[in-house]
Structure 1
């Protein structure tokens, strides 16, 4: 069955398409359209089950009430939790969310931004990969509200929400040093993104302060665990002198725990473990893994609050906000040295 248009309805009822459009968009009273005609149009629309074209409506009204949310990987527990909370807040404020994964791929992100443009989304929430500066600057130039989160682009002047990555990594590394560990490895994804660079610097700063040597392994980002576990395995076998390891993300961390198990290493006796991004798996591991927990609710709340403020303000010249949130460091059994029993003399 052919989908009806406003023109079809107008022709069937012998009424102008402009009048039909006003009625369907709730402007009948404003345009002084008679009650009887409104009821006749509504009755016919109900009978045929007419649904207005949302894209055509957004072109008329200038609003789609849709927000585009772009994250690195929607299956990652960190991004999935944030997306869910953002979706709930947005829905309560009359907006729906379309989300997608960029896989940290610049070209894919560019295509997704163009798709969102075609859908006339009202605003963008993006965890941006590298190399996307011009595309995001173009959105901002066209008056589109954009909020970045998890990381920012130094050359792009827009709102962003992130955590204090440098201090969080520094603090976790200092914990390992204070526990007496001296050969501390740092395993992470190879990335020039602001949050990853800040974590690396936090680790290096703590070691430098204590005259300790860094052992760094940067792995190419992949969703395929085998492509992460392979280089990780090689690194740990090569550096058998390591007594502790700090994982830069939970994805690297879960792969790391599998490799540690496969090598028959005991945590923390053979190798102490700390990871960024707390995760249920870390609490279930034996012993439970010490981890830096990002404030998921606060991140989601800040992101959607900033975007809704931009959407509800006509002026495009509000100064950009940089919101930096604190993390919690949960110390568990994976990074604590067992206290040696004190010999008791009779």
Structure 2
């Protein structure tokens, strides 16, 4: 086709739209559109024509005859695809060209023991299934996460396992629209219809708080971070519910989110415990808060468990080395990793059937140790 350059002045006050008519067919043939439109998916085509997603997928991938799909249905689908300007998605291309066999694992901080352990288990399962894992940290930063997702999409990876950051909903939604398999973990997004594998945050926080109360604590503190993410909100909710059911006093102390390499919470916790000398039980919402909180309590010479009893969410090998040993909620890391990969591999095996979200909530274990003993 010879090259034609078309320059059009689209000033609405001076442009004569009749001048555009001779070029409409040419522009349409080249695939240009004058109005922004939502990307058409295989699911949209199937719904519009009243056929199954599988039927549309077979036709797109040239398998209509092999699957004994009638010529009438085949032509109807092909005609509609041309009319709506459907372009093969990442998945359709993968079906024809082969998979990259690479899965992205996006964690909040890959150096954190929790995320590192999950990554190690996932890598082992992925390798056995013929996949490789790319690791990266978002630092719970939306802009960084968005940029990473964009980069890996261009690299044509097969799927994403993501710890979502604040405000990442649109990027996750776009991944699903483009038919990338996505599985969230550690937290989920209420506004996005997406697969996730998480733990019982609220139930475990309730159990841990009840344990402190049963051990005689009357003035409890819940130390957490400023966050409206689901896992932190659920832990706060579990603590609050247990307190309301008992005759105890409670304080909730929130710190700004920080990376493990940053210093700051220790000083704030030191000031908090100085001002609340009556506190006799502390529940730390994360283990990294517990590390700094234990240091602050030690500085103030608050004896554990005699002066104050301590529980932490998310067990750590350090808690077994500390004197006294720290009571903590243990997340099922191996099971969590297994279910993450099981869900991801299931999505990858069923690419042509559309995205059906899987939602799994796994139980934790409260390891009772010396820090809560009488």
With the length of structure 1 as denominator, give the TM-score of the two structures: 0.79
Equivalent in the alignment of 2:329: 292
Deviation of 1:61 after TM superposition, in Å, equals 2.0
Distance in 2, matches of 1:107 and 1:62, equals: 31
Does residue 180 of structure 1 match 2:190? no
C-alpha contact 1:225 1:255 (8 A) present in aligned 2? no
Equivalent in the alignment of 1:275: 312
Deviation of 1:314 after TM superposition, in Å, equals 2.9
Does residue 118 of structure 1 match 2:118? no
Q: Can you give the 5+ residue segments of structure 1 that lack an aligned partner in the other structure?
A: 1-56, 338-346
Aligned pairs, how many?
281
Match for residue 205 of structure 1 among 241, 244, 247: 241
Deviation of 1:316 after TM superposition, in Å, equals 4.3
Distance in 2, matches of 1:59 and 1:320, equals: 21
C-alpha contact 2:179 2:355 (8 A) present in aligned 1? no
Alignment of 1:34-183 (within 5 A): 61-183=97-219
Deviation of 1:115 after TM superposition, in Å, equals 1.3
Distance in 1, matches of 2:301 and 2:310, equals: 14
C-alpha contact 1:72 1:101 (8 A) present in aligned 2? yes
Equivalent in the alignment of 1:251: 288
C-alpha contact 2:221 2:250 (8 A) present in aligned 1? yes
Alignment of 1:182-331 (within 5 A): 182-223=218-259, 224-331=261-368
Does residue 334 of structure 1 match 2:344? no
Distance in 1, matches of 2:94 and 2:176, equals: 19
Deviation of 1:315 after TM superposition, in Å, equals 3.1
Distance in 2, matches of 1:328 and 1:58, equals: 41
Distance in 1, matches of 2:218 and 2:301, equals: 21
Counterparts in 2 of 1:316 and 1:234: CA distance versus 1, 3 Å:
farther
Deviation of 1:260 after TM superposition, in Å, equals 1.4
Distance in 2, matches of 1:130 and 1:278, equals: 25
C-alpha contact 2:101 2:131 (8 A) present in aligned 1? yes
Summarize deviations over 1:77-134 as a string: whole Å, max 9, x none: 0000000100111111111100111111111110111111121110000010110000
Deviation of 1:256 after TM superposition, in Å, equals 1.1
Distance in 2, matches of 1:235 and 1:203, equals: 19
Summarize deviations over 1:209-228 as a string: whole Å, max 9, x none: 01323201111111244222
Equivalent in the alignment of 2:11: none
Distance in 1, matches of 2:300 and 2:246, equals: 29
Distance in 2, matches of 1:205 and 1:145, equals: 36
Q: Can you give the 5+ residue segments of structure 2 that lack an aligned partner in the other structure?
A: 1-92
Counterparts in 2 of 1:302 and 1:296: CA distance versus 1, 3 Å:
same
Distance in 2, matches of 1:241 and 1:74, equals: 37
Distance in 2, matches of 1:142 and 1:106, equals: 20
SS at structure 1 position matched to 2:264:
helix
Equivalent in the alignment of 2:75: none
SS at structure 2 position matched to 1:286:
coil
With the length of structure 2 as denominator, give the TM-score of the two structures: 0.73
Summarize deviations over 1:234-276 as a string: whole Å, max 9, x none: 1111111100100000111111111111222110111110000
Distance in 2, matches of 1:233 and 1:226, equals: 13
